Amino acid sequence: MTTNLGSVQAHYASSDIARRVLAAVGGAGAPTPDTLAPVDHFHGGGLASTRELANLLAPHRGERLLDLGSGIGGPARWFAATFDCHVTGIDLTADYCRAAEALNVATGLADKVRIVEGSALDLPFGDENFDRAYSQNVVMNIADKPRFYREARRVLKPGGVLALSNLAAGPAGAPYYPVPWAASSDTSFLSTVAQTREELQSAGLQIVHFEDTTAKTLQMRRAARLKLESEGLPPLGPHVFIGGRLREYQINVSRSQEEGRLSSIEVLALRPA
């Protein structure tokens, strides 16, 4: 089984993203990573989840970070501004890369955030280039997860760490589709929690922290689903560039987690020195 890159790109494609994001956020003065945050953190939990991942990753000032599957660049800009570090983001979707570049300029962070259009399975970077790396809800689109993790390990410096916030296969069967990362099972590749451990270790990464967060996030997921079903989408959110279909996506993720069809995990893995 292999990832159909064209189908993945088509699922995420959207036009004129940066203009729509800036128009939706509005306000006086230049936008900032914080004012854009309700819209440009396209993963479960939004900015709150990025903050949790930052607690795991613990970046230092001046370090070089890699964002694997950077989307329209919200987390990359937030990391760069919050920790005064340099972030390189790589994403497969051209529309997202162009939007990220425009929003980097709009926020005055083009000198701290670099966006590369490409595949995380064949990173266009030399060995031992980054101090730390992170990825949020990206590997569900990737069939060859060991290769994804091996590439991350290759570009990390010895002693560097990879922080992950992922969804995994639950014990109760396939999730409900469509979901934010896939319209159907054709482009959805879910490992179990146990398989994720094995894939990381087989790539030569040492697990420092591994937490199944499904139970911890279940109440939040259920509350979010009920609110979406009764009130619809909020005024600001990634639906600004994804469209109203995001409501169904998010409801399906919540239902799937509530029924044990999806698990959520947070991981910190180390490239041994």
Q: What is the CATH number of the domain that holds 9?
A: 3.40.50.150
Q: How confident is the model at residue 3 (pLDDT cuts 50, 70, 90)?
A: low
| pLDDT above 90: percentage of residues in the chain | 89
Asked if 78 and 102 touch (Cβ cutoff 8 Å), the reply is no
Q: What is the mean pLDDT of residues 230-247?
A: 94
pLDDT by residue (tens digit) across 172-204? Answer: 999 999 999 999 999 999 999 999 999 999 999
pLDDT by residue (tens digit) across 116-129? Answer: 999 999 999 999 99
Q: What is the mean pLDDT of residues 164-168?
A: 96
The residue range of the domain holding 19 is 5-270
pLDDT by residue (tens digit) across 29-88? Answer: 789 999 999 999 988 789 999 999 999 999 999 999 999 999 999 999 999 999 999 999
- Helix, strand, or coil here: 196? helix
- Helix, strand, or coil here: 4? coil
Asked if 165 and 211 touch (Cβ cutoff 8 Å), the reply is no
Q: For residue 269, what are the β-bridge partners?
A: 162, 207
In the chain, the number of structural domains is 1
pTM to 2 decimal places: 0.94
DSSP of 205-266: PEEEEEEE-HHHHHHHHHHHHHHHHHH-S-SSSTHHHH-THHHHHHHHHHHHHHTTSEEEEE
pLDDT at 245: 95
